[in-house]
């Protein structure tokens, strides 16, 4: 079975720009969560999607938004990028919204300059 695939692996953007990060969930998983991991910190929960609906959100502003598609892949969009948005963005899929059997992707390293 395939794992979680994220693209791109690295990205450099300028402050004020917009970015879209992509995630393909593991086969059979219908739930996708996104986490932000700043350098030297633990991952912070951004939001979760279950069957194409956002069903939970962490302490992140509305300029962080997402989508989940019918094949359960997902996108994370960030508008009006700020320097503090520089981080590793991790996608995790699981078989259900309350299932702890997560599979994490390797992440997208976003640098905002």
Partner 1 sequence: GDSVTQMEGPVTLSEEAFLTINCTYTATGYPSLFWYVQYPGEGLQLLLKATKADDKGSNKGFEATYRKETTSFHLEKGSVQVSDSAVYFCALSTPGGATNKLIFGTGTLLAVQP
Residue 57, C-beta contacts closer than 8 angstroms, at least 6 positions apart: 46, 47, 48
93 binds partner 1 (CB under 8 A): no
Considering only residues 24, 26, 33, 93, which one is a binding residue for partner 1 as defined by CB under 8 A?
A: 33
Q: Which is nearer to partner 1, 14 or 39 (CB)?
A: 39
Residues 31 and 76: their CA atoms lie apart, in Å, by 14
60 binds partner 1 (CB under 8 A): no
- The maximal CA–CA distance of the chain, rounded, in angstroms, is 39
Asked whether 108 and 8 are in contact (CB, 8 A), the reply is yes
Binding stretches for partner 1 (CB under 8 A): 4, 31, 33, 35, 40-45, 48, 50, 55-56, 58, 90, 92, 94, 96-100, 102, 104-107
């Amino acid at each position: 079975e395939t794992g979680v695939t994220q693209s791109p692996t690295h990205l450099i953007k300028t402050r004020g720009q917009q970015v879209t990060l992509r995630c393909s969930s593991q086969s059979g998983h219908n739930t996708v969560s996104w986490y932000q991991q700043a350098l030297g910190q633990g991952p912070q929960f951004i939001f979760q999607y279950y069957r194409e609906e956002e069903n939970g959100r962490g302490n992140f502003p509305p300029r962080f938004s997402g989508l989940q598609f019918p094949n359960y892949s997902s996108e994370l969009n960030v508008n009006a990028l700020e320097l503090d948005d520089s981080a590793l963005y991790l996608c995790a899929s699981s078989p259900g919204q309350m299932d702890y059997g997560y599979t994490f992707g390797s992440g997208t390293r976003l640098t905002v300059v």
